[in-house]
Amino acid sequence: MTNKKWLGMLVFGLMVVGCDYGSTGGSTNGDRANPALNGTWVVINGTWFHTDAKHSEVKFNNGNFEVWDGNFPYEKGTYVTVDTSIQIWPTHYNGKIFMLESKWYTKDQLKTSVPLDFNEDVLNRMFGWKVTSYSVNGNNLTILTTTYTKK
């Protein structure tokens, strides 16, 4: 099973590297991000991957994203798109969700800032990449089963 998992990740990675939205070269995520996602999207119904995001916004900008939970930034990272799939890599979380100072923390910073009994597997899942389907139809964005409208 583990070999199949790694093979699947390798195949997807090769697909990401091989796709191009008409860029002139370069290696930034913006070259592999559908420009139709750029902007601020407000949740109509559903949740962001692992948070109750009923009143949240997601901001996409040329391969970078931020998730806002209410009035504070919750998560940020990078993304790429391939056809109807979006692959998201969180790079930072706001310390406020861990009852720390409200600023951006990397995985390594959280490891040294949260209590020792914090489960590292949770951090690994939070900072792990996520792949799901998405579609943009006018001012509506659907990621898996969550619907957003453009602000």
> Which residue, chain included where needed, has tokens 């913006």?
30
Q: Which amino acid is at 98?
A: F
**From the CB of residue 92, how many other CB atoms can be counted at a distance below 10 Å?**
19
Enclosing domain of residue 31 = 2-150
pLDDT in tens, the chain (151 residues): 433 433 333 333 333 333 333 333 333 455 799 999 999 999 887 666 655 545 588 999 999 999 988 788 989 999 999 999 999 999 999 999 888 999 999 999 998 888 766 677 888 989 999 999 999 999 999 998 888 999 9
How many folded domains does the chain comprise? Answer: 1
Whether residue 136 contacts residue 31, with contact meaning beta carbons closer than 8 Å, is answered with no
Residues 6+ apart with CB under 8 A from 62: 28, 29, 30, 33, 35, 38
Residue-level pLDDT at 55? 54
State pTM to two decimals.
Answer: 0.74
Of 110, 88, 85, the C-alpha closest to 100 is 110
